[in-house]
Structure 1
């Protein structure tokens, strides 16, 4: 990805006023190879991962959030959860949360237990919190199993957050 393409991607970011620098339509006219079949070009995520290029990853994620992620993105997003060369872990977890696939349960679980160096200052544990919420929204036994492990954790934050998700899941099943 070149700098002009990165600028186009950043133009898709929604401002606090609810507008974008460029429209989705203009983006597609100026950068038609960015999107395949309504989803982020997998090639970009893979290239950013292989090259360990954080700026290209950021841009790929922006396009994914604007145009949508597909189940084909799950494998690369799960790999990105563990990569230590970028600062987009919360966005990667959010993308996995949008996809709501049980195939992401293990990666989301790993995101609850690892604090990247750049997030060591974050006492609110936003990455772990997002990952636990995402686990709580997944159907199936693997997500339940991961939440049960977290609920038995010595880490008070993880334990309490997991217990809340387990309770939330129970309440939603009862209704």
Structure 2
């Protein structure tokens, strides 16, 4: 996608206090499509093939502007989520949450434990919170039970930030020059904070959502 085409698509986005500056029809006409959902899916697959983070964002902007469904995007989004070259993890979790499908459970469960690099600053664990709420909306409580168990780090070799992940960082700290020790100690403190927040989510949010999603059994009336 050229810079001019990105500017065209960005015109569909709603800014702070500003409305869209372009219409969906203009974008569709430029790309030679008649349906926003079809165009969005085409742009998403193309961006994934080229591993272009900016064009993934453009594809999701078209998807939102077209108010398209998520069903056709299920497989691409599940494939895209664990990739480490984009920044759309929160949008993917939000979109998968709309489906309320058991097929999304493994991806959403992973999102409760994994912290992408660009979200290292977020001690509130917004991605995990979104994923837990999405799991709670899926019929049955199997997703919430999966979220209790962190995924095995070796199962995702391209994702080094699976929580808890401070042990490897602490081992590496001893072998680093002294100039890096302060940064490493700060990272360890941040990681410990994420772990405390994560344990709080598992201890409070998941049991509460499990209670909401577990069907109540009617008590027998006394004879």
TM-score tier by shorter-chain length is: 0.7 to 0.9
Higher helix share: 1
Alignment match, 1:92:
92
Residues 82-137 of structure 1: per-residue CA shift (max 9 Å, x gap): 01111111011112122332221111111111111121111010111111111111
Q: In the superposition, relative to structure 1, how do residues 112 and 34 fare at CA in structure 2: closer, same or farther (>3 Å)? A: farther
Alignment match, 2:119:
119
Could you list the runs of 5+ residues in structure 2 that have no partner in the other structure?
A: 151-194, 219-223
Distance 1:26 1:173 in 2: 55
Q: How many residues align?
A: 170
Distance 1:65 1:101 in 2: 20
Q: In the superposition, relative to structure 1, how do residues 97 and 32 fare at CA in structure 2: closer, same or farther (>3 Å)? A: farther
Could you tell me which of 131, 142, 163 is aligned with 2:207? 163
**For the Cα contact (< 8 Å) 1:8–1:27, is it kept in 2?**
yes
| CA RMSD between the two structures | 2.7
* SS class of match (1:26): helix
User: How far 1:23 moved relative to its partner?
Assistant: 2.4
Residues 11-68 of structure 1: per-residue CA shift (max 9 Å, x gap): 11112336211223333333443845x4554232122112110000010111112211
Distance 1:77 1:54 in 2: 13
Q: In the superposition, relative to structure 1, how do residues 77 and 131 fare at CA in structure 2: closer, same or farther (>3 Å)? A: same
Superposition misfits of 4+ residues, deviation over 6 angstroms: 171-174
Higher radius of gyration, 1 or 2: 2
What is the 5 A alignment of 1:95-110? 95-110=95-110
Question: TM-score if structure 1 supplies the norm length?
Answer: 0.82
Distance 1:40 1:107 in 2: 25
Alignment match, 1:145:
142
**For the Cα contact (< 8 Å) 2:33–2:39, is it kept in 1?**
no
**For the Cα contact (< 8 Å) 2:136–2:143, is it kept in 1?**
no
Report which stretch shifted further, 124-133 or 97-106. 97-106
Alignment match, 1:49:
48
Distance 1:88 1:133 in 2: 18
Report which stretch shifted further, 159-168 or 105-114. 159-168
**For the Cα contact (< 8 Å) 1:54–1:87, is it kept in 2?**
yes
